[in-house]
Amino acid sequence: MALFGKLPTVYLIIAMLMAGNACAQGLSEASGEDRSDEDASGQTSAIMEASNNDSAEEMSQAEADPSAQKNSPEQKSDKIWHLVWEDNFDGEGLDRTKWRPEVSCWGGGNNERQCYTDRPENIQIEDGLLRLIAKKGRYTGPLYPEDMKGAPGGKKWQAYTSGKVRTKGLAAYKYGRFSARMKLPEGQGTWPAFWMMPETDTYGGWPLSGEIDIMEAVNLNTPCEDCPGGIERHTSGALHFGNEIPQNTYLFLKAEGGRLPGPSEEWRVYAVEWAEGVIQWLVDGKVYMRIESKDWFTASADKAENPYAPFDQPFYMMLNLAVGGNLAEKSNGKGFDPASFPAELRVDWVRVEQCRQDWQTGLPCLTDQNWQGEPQGPWEVQAR
HEC secondary structure over 144-179: CCCCCCCCCCCEEEEEEEECEEECCCCCCECCEEEE
Judge whether 216 counts as a catalytic residue.
yes
Q: Which of 211, 232, 329, 353 is catalytic?
A: 211
Judge whether 211 counts as a catalytic residue.
yes
Total number of residues shown for the chain: 384
Cβ 117 vs Cβ 124: under 8 Å: no
β-partners of residue 183 are 346
Q: Report CA-CA distances (Å) from 328 to 76, 190, 321.
A: 35, 7, 12
Q: How many helices, marked H, and strands, marked E, lie in the chain?
A: 7, 17
**Amino acid occupying residue 118:** D
CA distance 252 to 193: 14
Q: Report which DSSP code applies to 280.
A: E
CA distance 53 to 249: 45
- Give the dihedral of Cα atoms 216, 175, 167, 322; nearest 10 deg: -10
How many CB atoms lie under 10 A from the CB of residue 233?
26
CA distance 40 to 260: 46
- Give which of 84, 73, 68 is closest to 23, Cα–Cα: 84
Q: Which of 216, 273, 344, 353 is catalytic?
A: 216
User: What is the set of active-site residues?
Assistant: 211, 216
